[in-house]
Each structure stands twice: as C-alpha cells, then as structure tokens.
Amino acid sequence: MTYPVVTATEAAAAGLRPSALFSIARFNERSGNHDVAQRARQVGRELAKLVGLDLGGRRRQRLRAANDNRTRSYGKPRSERMAA
C-alpha cells in the first residue's frame, strides 16, 4: 500500500527539519507501519543532505593522543613537584 509522504523539497519549503521526519519514522516504526517509517527516514536523509546537515555514519580515522613527554606532577609529594 502506498502512503503519501512529502518529498525533501516540499519538506524544505514547508520549513520542516530532518529531525521531525526521523521522529515521524520512529512513531510509525512503533505503530507497525514499517514501509512508512522507512520512507520517512529516506526523506529525512535527503532533506539533511539538501540543507547541508551532516548526519555522520561514516568511519573516521581514530584520533590519537599527542605525545606528551612532560613529567607528571600528580602522584608526587609536594616537595618533589617542579615549580610551574
């Protein structure tokens, strides 16, 4: 069965945010309307791309900690700490 769902351009013209479409998708998923939920998510992703919103989902390179060779002042008695 086909349900009328707005397109991404119609949603942008109406001022809808992608989060609203994801909320609609979640509601329909819980109600058992999986087809409508899937279509609403698809339109939400299209709308996010249209307005330039980054939804993530890509693998990124892991950030590594900087090499910090300074001595640590915690864990030492006050008399042995270096003056800052």
pLDDT tens figures, 39-79: 999 999 999 999 988 887 777 777 776 666 566 666 667 77
- Cα separation, 2 vs 9, in Å, equals 19
Domain assignment present for 32: yes
Q: Domain residues for 49?
A: 1-55
Q: What's the number of CA atoms in the CB half-sphere (13 Å) around residue 59?
A: 2
Indicate whether 67 belongs to any domain.
no
Q: Does 23 score more than 90 pLDDT?
A: yes
Q: Are 45 and 55 in contact (CB under 8 A)?
A: yes
Examine residue 15 and state whether it is found in any structural domain, yes or no.
yes
pLDDT score recorded for residue 57 = 73
Residue 30 gets which letter from DSSP? Answer: H
72 located within any domain: no
Q: Indicate the pLDDT class of residue 18, thresholds 50, 70 and 90.
A: very high
| Among the ranges given (4-18, 28-42, 57-71), the one the predictor scored with the smallest mean pLDDT | 57-71
